[in-house]
């Protein structure tokens, strides 16, 4: 499996990092070794001094597809959860300045904690899902999928032009504003519609 992560999908977050809202959707990938499941701990990597959390709604692909049309996109995913797109912001900043790829800042081992995944039918409207993240008990990010610049169906249509989607792939849909640093000892708790879905401690 692979992870496809969407960048700058919430206008307010793009602004907070000083980025323009892109005309074209931005995506990047993380490998299978990035996944952390079952509320596993995150070990702070020694190559960064500025790891940030980005809390994102995640969905899982259930059908192989390429060049998927938006109107059929909802057949290609069946589950939704929440995850953290850990980012070594210092490395990313350096890469951006030099016009180099981001992989070492985004794709490192353990950089993609993901919650249990629940059937999309459990949601009245996948384009209106509230989610929050508490860092050490304090709410630091709040989002709703209605604020995504590209919704889930659009993302499937866009990404599948370039990359074949396969069963089990995870798509991270971008973070709302409020990203920030984590440090060793922090506890992340992520919620969908008030239900605690994910716990991740930074070790």
Q: Which is nearer to Mg ion, 76 or 86 (CB)?
A: 86
Closest CA to 187 of 198, 175, 173: 198
Q: Which is nearer to Mg ion, 14 or 68 (CB)?
A: 14
Question: Segment 77-136, which members bind Mg ion (CB under 5 A)?
Answer: 85
Residues sharing a CB contact under 8 Å with residue 46, sequence separation 6 or more, in sequence order: none
Question: Segment 57-86, which members bind Mg ion (CB under 5 A)?
Answer: 85
- Taking CB under 5 A as the rule, does residue 54 contact Mg ion? yes
- Taking CB under 5 A as the rule, does residue 14 contact Mg ion? no
Closest CA to 81 of 200, 198, 187, 167: 198
Residue nearest to Mg ion (CB): 85
In whole angstroms, give the CA distance from residue 188 to residue 202: 8
**Least gap, CB of 56 to Mg ion (angstroms):** 6
Number of residues that bind Mg ion (CB under 5 A): 3
Residue 29 burial class via C-beta count within 10 angstroms: exposed 0-12, middle 13-18, buried 19 and up: middle
Piece of 10-18, 20-28, 54-62, 193-201 that binds Mg ion (CB under 5 A): 54-62
- Taking CB under 5 A as the rule, does residue 153 contact Mg ion? no
Q: Strand (E) positions, the chain?
A: 3-7, 26-30, 35-36, 51-53, 55-61, 77-84, 87-88, 112-113, 118-119, 130-135, 138-144, 170-172, 180-181, 187-192, 195-201
Q: Which is nearer to Mg ion, 64 or 84 (CB)?
A: 84
In whole angstroms, give the CA distance from residue 98 to residue 190: 34
Piece of 51-59, 61-69, 111-119, 182-190 that binds Mg ion (CB under 5 A): 51-59
**Least gap, CB of 5 to Mg ion (angstroms):** 5
Q: Which is nearer to Mg ion, 54 or 169 (CB)?
A: 54
Residues in the site for Mg ion, rule: CB under 5 A?
A: 54, 85, 175
């Amino acid at each position: 499996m692979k992870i496809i992560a969407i960048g700058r999908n919430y206008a307010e977050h793009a602004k907070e990092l000083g980025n323009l809202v892109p005309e074209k959707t931005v995506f990047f990938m993380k490998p299978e070794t990035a996944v952390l499941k079952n509320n596993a701990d995150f070990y702070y990597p020694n190559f960064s001094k500025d790891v940030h959390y980005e809390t994102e709604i995640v969905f899982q692909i259930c059908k192989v597809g390429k060049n998927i049309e938006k109107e059929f996109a909802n057949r290609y995913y069946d589950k939704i959860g929440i995850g953290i797109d850990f980012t070594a912001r210092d490395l990313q900043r350096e890469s951006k300045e030099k016009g180099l790829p981001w992989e070492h800042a985004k794709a490192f081992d353990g950089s993609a904690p993901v919650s249990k995944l629940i059937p999309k039918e459990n949601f009245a409207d996948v384009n209106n899902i509230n989610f929050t993240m508490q860092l050490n008990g304090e709410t630091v990010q709040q989002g709703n999928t209605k604020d995504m610049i590209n919704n889930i169906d659009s993302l499937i249509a866009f990404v599948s032009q370039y990359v074949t989607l396969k069963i089990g792939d995870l798509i991270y849909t971008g973070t709302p504003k409020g990203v920030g640093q984590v440090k060793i000892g922090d506890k992340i708790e992520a919620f969908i519609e008030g239900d605690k879905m994910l716990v991740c401690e930074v070790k």
